[in-house]
Structure 1
């Protein structure tokens, strides 16, 4: 499996699915059985799909599951793109970590198509915008400066790696 994929070369969704399946088979990507997730709750949505919070194997561990509205060439490429972006910045403490992938099999589909969900680190503080809206007045200026610095460092890391961000999710180490 090549780590360097030219997204212009492939126009067939099946080839992207094959890339994902090969990465799972060769253990380049950790695979999580969907049946081991419980207490699944929607926590947000974006341009490509929804995000859920899910408990892993009835432990204290939660993950974020990023779903996609439809599995077509564009979304399948986005899954691959997301995986590669996450692998490039996995070293930074303030950027949500990619953990692996899971599949939800649809009973409604005639072809039993696979719906991939990206498994990511769960940030229990929620979105920065909501956190600041709820806590801005109680934060000291020192706390606010630390949060701003963490945000700047995370964005700088992304830019240093040549990553263009859309739905930016950053982990804040709260005071």
Structure 2
């Protein structure tokens, strides 16, 4: 068994990018809002801002744990819309190592909930839950256990939640079922408001026993976070199942809200464009499609709405996710939008990475509004039942 910095000195290879500590300038402490010591810095010659976190250099870890550490930082170095990206390592003049992260520091989820929880609607909470679950689903798809999932390890970037692991804790003693347990705590926190770190587990025990949900909590939402706490880890849902339930809740919430407001005539064309984000591009991930961070077109373009006259649409093997096998869409209306390109979009036209990250991968010329149903185990139905 060796200390972490000895393992790094011996085993780090070209797979992990290494920054010279002299490349950083304007170092500034940014401890507020986290339980870790962090520094904000400018990376010379790259025109980007990064966050630097000191590692637990003198902690003793096994060879197996160090291998897990390397696999984790490699995974966090991959691009995903709900993962705070790890950029590499650096070492100061005293031989201590630091992790270098993309700087997205708009505050932790816990601080955000402390300040703005009363302003959140259920539609907002479900989207935040989806963001967290999407990030965790990516980690689990890479066979990575987070091991320290809580509201202090989740940050906000342009309204989107991103999972970090600033401590890079030793998760070799944890498993994916433990991550699901911690996910349940986060879903509870989005429902009732911010918890303190020390009280999380006792609160789960308390709220896990109550029969009535917190006021206005959707029943499906309450059920899924309570299932995440099941005392038998083998009976907790997998992360993709949690994501599917939340996606259905989000779709239902969006559909009801949008149809009510749009077709009751309570919104102007510009309000409809802004609400449905018709002037935004779409980000395509392995599991989902979400609006981009920035608009592509101006909000004063041409909007057309009409009743949908086609047939329902049936989709099978949705993104490869189980247990849902079939989705049937029942569109009610179709909307098209044409507008002028914004200058902010044009200036990124030659930078694919920034273009996709901010504006999305494609733009939908037509959007269908309506309802949908998901069918589990469709293949088990006989001809009579169909």
Q: What TM-score, normalized to structure 1?
A: 0.68
Distance 2:97 2:67 in 1: 11
Structure 1 residues 167 and 51: alpha-carbon distance in aligned structure 2, compared to 1, 3 A threshold: farther
How far apart are 1:158 and its partner, in Å?
2.0
Q: Structure 1 regions of 5+ residues with no counterpart? A: 1-10, 107-113
Structure 1 residues 58 and 161: alpha-carbon distance in aligned structure 2, compared to 1, 3 A threshold: closer
Say yes or no: does 1:68 pair with 2:55: yes
| Cross-structure match for 2:84 | 96
| Cross-structure match for 1:152 | 133
Structure 1 residues 138 and 78: alpha-carbon distance in aligned structure 2, compared to 1, 3 A threshold: farther
How far apart are 1:60 and its partner, in Å?
5.7
Distance 2:55 2:62 in 1: 7
Kindly indicate whether the alpha-carbon contact (under 8 Å) linking 1:103 and 1:116 is maintained by their aligned counterparts in 2: yes
How far apart are 1:139 and its partner, in Å?
3.2
Structure 1 residues 15 and 116: alpha-carbon distance in aligned structure 2, compared to 1, 3 A threshold: closer
Distance 2:120 2:48 in 1: 28
The equivalent position to 2:98 in structure 1, one of 117, 133, 143, is 117
Kindly indicate whether the alpha-carbon contact (under 8 Å) linking 1:102 and 1:117 is maintained by their aligned counterparts in 2: yes
The equivalent position to 1:41 in structure 2, one of 15, 25, 29, is 29
Distance 2:64 2:114 in 1: 34
1:61-91 CA deviation, whole Å, 9 max, x = no partner?
Answer: 2212121344354299867644421323523
How far apart are 1:31 and its partner, in Å?
1.7
Structure 1 residues 33 and 75: alpha-carbon distance in aligned structure 2, compared to 1, 3 A threshold: farther
Higher RCO structure, 1 or 2 (CA under 8 Å, sep 6+): 1
How far apart are 1:15 and its partner, in Å?
4.8
Kindly indicate whether the alpha-carbon contact (under 8 Å) linking 1:16 and 1:76 is maintained by their aligned counterparts in 2: no
Distance 2:127 2:40 in 1: 27
Q: Structure 2 regions of 5+ residues with no counterpart? A: 161-386
Say yes or no: does 1:143 pair with 2:135: no
Alpha-carbon RMSD: 3.0
1:100-138 CA deviation, whole Å, 9 max, x = no partner?
Answer: 1110122xxxxxxx1110111222222111112112223
| Cross-structure match for 2:44 | 57
How far apart are 1:16 and its partner, in Å?
4.2
How far apart are 1:171 and its partner, in Å?
4.8
Kindly indicate whether the alpha-carbon contact (under 8 Å) linking 1:68 and 1:75 is maintained by their aligned counterparts in 2: no
| Cross-structure match for 2:184 | none
1:1-57 CA deviation, whole Å, 9 max, x = no partner?
Answer: xxxxxxxxxx3454542112xx1xxx32222121232232142445xxx33222222
Distance 1:145 1:36 in 2: 41
> Equivalent residue of 2:98, what SS?
strand
Distance 1:42 1:58 in 2: 22
How far apart are 1:156 and its partner, in Å?
2.1
